[in-house]
């Protein structure tokens, strides 16, 4: 029976809450997945995307989907040892998305003049060390109070010895308060209309496990454990999920102690019956 290791990691643009960069490539190396879903990837204007750099250095093929424009603000001269500033002042540090009105031109961020920042694009990616036989994207649209136009990447992965490909779906959903069940319903309808094959749906869902599987009947959780936030003494919630359906089952599911981002990565070893 074929086995495959899949993982999901929200990398927070490769910076902490102060805007200090961390080694995303090394974090992904430590995850050690055959197929890796990344959220909040950063594509700097005029530079190489984060997902492309991970793919080049670790031997993956990458499929990316941009969600929103934004900026990463440089850290202050003397940041404190903690992951980021207090919540009340976090609006002036780290990664921030542009607030755009429908039909408006790209807006320059309102930043304090003394703060330096890097412009770029906020995205998701699916990376695979196994052959990708096909890929497509699903447009989920933009919710009124969300800064990003959400979507999903669907990639069919060739598992040697398997009768059918493994369908991997990577996404990053809006918050429940922003109306994410609308996107979940749209994603459910689209995936249900596809040819049934062993499937994995993974990413930062911004939703707890029990209501998520109620909104996605037929899918089961491969990993259970709290993943957010890393800056507290103990994480309090699990917004990061790996779900499976069809003849794909989780042999091992775990939350990894890689604390560079504000989210812990999740990883599962799947068996395809």
DSSP assigned state of 177: G
Give the integer Cα–Cα distance in Å for 133 and 130: 9
Of 250, 223, 219, 249, nearest in space to 238 by CA:
223
Q: CB of 64 within 8 A of CB of 51? A: yes
CA dihedral sign of residues 217, 165, 67, 48? positive
242: left (phi over 0), alpha (psi -120 to 50) or beta: beta
Taking CA atoms, 254 is separated from 13, 124, 251, 265, in Å, by: 23, 22, 10, 9
CATH class of 3-272: alpha beta
Distance of CA 244 to the CA centre of its chain: 17
Contact 270, 17 (CB under 8 A): no
Low-confidence ranges of the chain (pLDDT < 50): 101-106, 109, 111-113
Peptide bond into 229 cis (omega under 30): yes
Distance (Å, rounded) from C-alpha 264 to C-alpha 20?
Answer: 18
- Other residues' Cβ atoms within 10 Å of the Cβ of residue 161: 8
CA-CA distance, 210 to 214, in Å (whole number)? 6
Q: Which residues pair with 241 in a beta bridge?
A: 203
Whole-model pTM: value is: 0.92
Closest by CA position to 5, among listed 246, 273, 270: 270
Q: What is the pLDDT of residue 57?
A: 98
Label residues 95-106 b or e (16+ Cβ within 10 Å = b). bbbbebeeeeee
Please give the structure tokens belonging to residue 204.
Answer: 């930062």
Q: What is the pLDDT of residue 148?
A: 97
Query: To 5 degrees, how large is the angle CA 26–CA 32–CA 33?
Result: 125
- List Cβ neighbours of 5 (8 Å cut-off, separation of 6 or more): 32, 33, 34, 35, 267, 268, 269, 270
Query: Taking every pair of C-alpha atoms in the chain, what is the biggest distance, in angstroms?
Result: 59
Predicted local distance difference test score (pLDDT) of residue 101: 46
For the chain, what are the domain ranges? 3-272
């Amino acid at each position: 029976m074929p086995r495959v290791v899949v993982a999901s990691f929200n990398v927070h643009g490769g910076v902490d809450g102060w805007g200090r960069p961390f080694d995303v490539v090394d974090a992904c190396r430590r995850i050690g997945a055959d197929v890796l879903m990344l959220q909040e990837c950063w594509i700097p204007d005029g530079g190489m995307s984060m997902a492309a750099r991970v793919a080049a250095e670790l031997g993956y093929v990458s499929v990316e989907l941009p969600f929103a424009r934004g900026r990463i603000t440089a850290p202050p001269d003397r940041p404190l040892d903690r992951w980021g500033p207090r919540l009340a002042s976090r609006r002036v540090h780290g990664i921030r998305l542009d607030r755009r009105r429908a039909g408006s031109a790209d807006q320059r961020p309102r930043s304090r003049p003394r703060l330096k920042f890097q412009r770029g694009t906020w995205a998701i990616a699916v990376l695979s060390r196994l052959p990708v036989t096909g890929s497509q994207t699903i447009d989920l649209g933009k919710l009124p109070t969300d800064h990003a136009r959400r979507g999903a990447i669907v990639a069919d992965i060739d598992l040697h010895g398997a009768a059918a490909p493994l369908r991997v779906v990577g996404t990053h959903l809006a918050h429940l308060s922003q109306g994410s069940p609308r996107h979940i319903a749209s994603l459910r309808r689209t995936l249900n209309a596809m040819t049934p094959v062993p499937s994995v749906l993974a990413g930062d869902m911004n939703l707890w496990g029990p209501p998520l599987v109620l909104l996605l009947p037929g899918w089961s959780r491969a990993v259970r454990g709290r993943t957010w936030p890393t800056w507290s003494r103990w994480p309090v919630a699990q917004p990061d999920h790996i779900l499976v359906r069809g003849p794909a089952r989780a042999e091992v599911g775990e939350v990894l102690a890689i604390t560079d981002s504000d989210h812990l990565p999740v990883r599962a070893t799947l068996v395809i019956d």
